[in-house]
């Protein structure tokens, strides 16, 4: 694994990085934020926090979209620094040493939420590395070691997804069956039941084309405004179904992706899918205009290609843990650059191909990139 920063100047030129939070911030699925807090603990049912001058408060765990921490344990912070420098594998190893030390009783941790958080980060990083067997083993460790953590439900979902990517669909369905039983026994809300249904549907090989689309529409409708993150994830899968197979309908897919992009109630995986999908639609429209060979269409195509690159690079910069999309977004950013004329476009295309091959060598998109690399 080579550092991601080899193409960082190009990425940052296309998209500015978000500001860093100065205190813990809780983002909820209804688009609200709880700012300037100190996280006390994260359990399966609640996130507990303090605000200056107030007694301890809590928010339901299933309503939390994500949390930005202003302070991490020293070893976790060191690992995150390695990760920021592109040393993903080193970051994984450092986080694992921290978790193993905690579980072995070699050290105590004042931040009660931190060990489970570290394991969740390991899962995310292994997803980014395409280490699906590693995702399963880390998810199993989290499930066994932190059964009351807020990160437990996502661990089951990640495990099922990783098994699916390994073509172990029966095992993926079994993991989801276990999760549904857990959700029932713990009285978890409809959000997690719907999450399990969505993951099961995505694991079902019999659901393709219109069948898959109808199932996604049905899950999204039941999720509704009460569970917007599930709704939007199902809608991404619906949009993707329009550009899979032979009968592609890019206009319908684009309309779905644009609507979700305008909705703040979406997690990283959903947004990565949205912007990759938008890039695909814009790239397709650009190629179609170039085929017309009209001068006005050629100018429109150049603008569409630039817009496609912006969407793809948004995924690369802001959602780099979402391997399923990042490697594809890198590759097609390269293809879009290749189709452009003049300037540094061809050189930028080669940077993208090299980045895919170097950082995601085991993906299908790395194999595709090798066909275009010079």
Q: What is the DSSP string of 94-134?
A: HHHHHHHHHHTTSS--SSTTHHHHHHHHHHHHHHHHT-HHH
Q: What is the number of H-type helices and E-type strands within the chain?
A: 16, 5
Mean pLDDT of 213-217: 94
Q: pLDDT digits over 222-279, tens only? A: 999 888 889 999 999 999 999 987 788 999 999 999 999 987 678 888 999 999 999 9
Residue 157 structure tokens: 């979902």
Provide the 3-class DSSP secondary structure of residue 34. strand
pLDDT of residue 22: 52
Closest CA to 123 of 111, 108, 139: 139
Q: Tell me, what's the pLDDT at 11?
A: 53
Angle, CA of 174, 176 and 179, to the nearest 5°: 115
pTM of the shown model: 0.76
Q: What is the rounded distance in angstroms from the CA atom of residue 271 to the CA atom of residue 256?
A: 12
CB 156 within 8 A of CB 140: no
Tokens of 338: 């290749």
* pLDDT tens digits along 81-100: 998 887 888 999 999 999 99
Closest CA to 127 of 315, 320, 331, 370: 320
Residue 20 has pLDDT above 50, yes or no: no
Order of strands across the sheet with 57-60? 57-60, 46-51, 33-42, 24-28, 64-68
């Amino acid at each position: 694994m080579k550092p991601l920063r080899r193409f960082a100047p190009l990425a940052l030129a296309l998209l500015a990085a978000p500001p860093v939070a100065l205190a813990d911030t809780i983002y909820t699925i209804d688009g609200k934020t709880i700012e300037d807090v100190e996280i006390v603990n994260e359990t399966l049912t609640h996130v507990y926090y303090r605000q200056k001058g107030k007694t301890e408060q809590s928010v339901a765990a299933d309503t939390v979209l994500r949390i930005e921490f202003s302070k991490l344990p020293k070893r976790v912070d060191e690992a995150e620094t390695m990760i920021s420098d592109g040393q993903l594998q080193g970051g994984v190893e450092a986080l694992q040493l921290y978790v193993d030390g905690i579980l072995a009783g070699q050290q105590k941790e004042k931040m009660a939420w931190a060990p489970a958080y570290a394991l969740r980060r390991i899962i995310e990083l292994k997803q980014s590395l395409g280490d699906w067997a590693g995702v399963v083993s880390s998810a199993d460790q989290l499930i066994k070691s932190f059964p009351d953590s807020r990160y437990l439900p996502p661990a089951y979902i990640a495990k099922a997804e990783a098994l699916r990517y390994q073509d172990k669909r029966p095992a993926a369905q079994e993991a989801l069956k276990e999760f549904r039983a857990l959700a029932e026994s713990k009285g978890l809300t409809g959000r997690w039941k719907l999450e399990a249904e969505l993951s099961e549907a995505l694991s079902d090989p019999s659901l393709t084309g219109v069948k898959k689309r109808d199932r996604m529409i049905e899950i999204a409708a039941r999720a509704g405004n009460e569970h917007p993150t599930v709704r939007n994830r199902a809608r991404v899968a619906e949009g993707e179904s329009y550009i899979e197979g032979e009968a592609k309908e890019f206009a319908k897919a684009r309309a779905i992706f644009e609507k979700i992009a305008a909705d703040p109630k979406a997690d990283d995986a959903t947004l990565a899918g949205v912007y990759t999908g938008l890039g695909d639609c814009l790239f397709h429209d650009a190629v179609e205009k170039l085929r017309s060979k009209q001068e006005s269409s050629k100018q429109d195509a150049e603008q569409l290609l630039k817009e496609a690159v912006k969407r793809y690079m948004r995924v690369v910069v802001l959602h780099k843990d979402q391997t399923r999309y990042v490697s594809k977004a890198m590759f097609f950013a390269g293809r879009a650059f290749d189709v452009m004329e003049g300037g540094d476009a061809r050189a930028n295309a080669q940077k993208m191909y090299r980045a895919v091959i170097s950082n995601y060598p085991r993906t299908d998109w790395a194999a595709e990139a090798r066909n275009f690399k010079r």
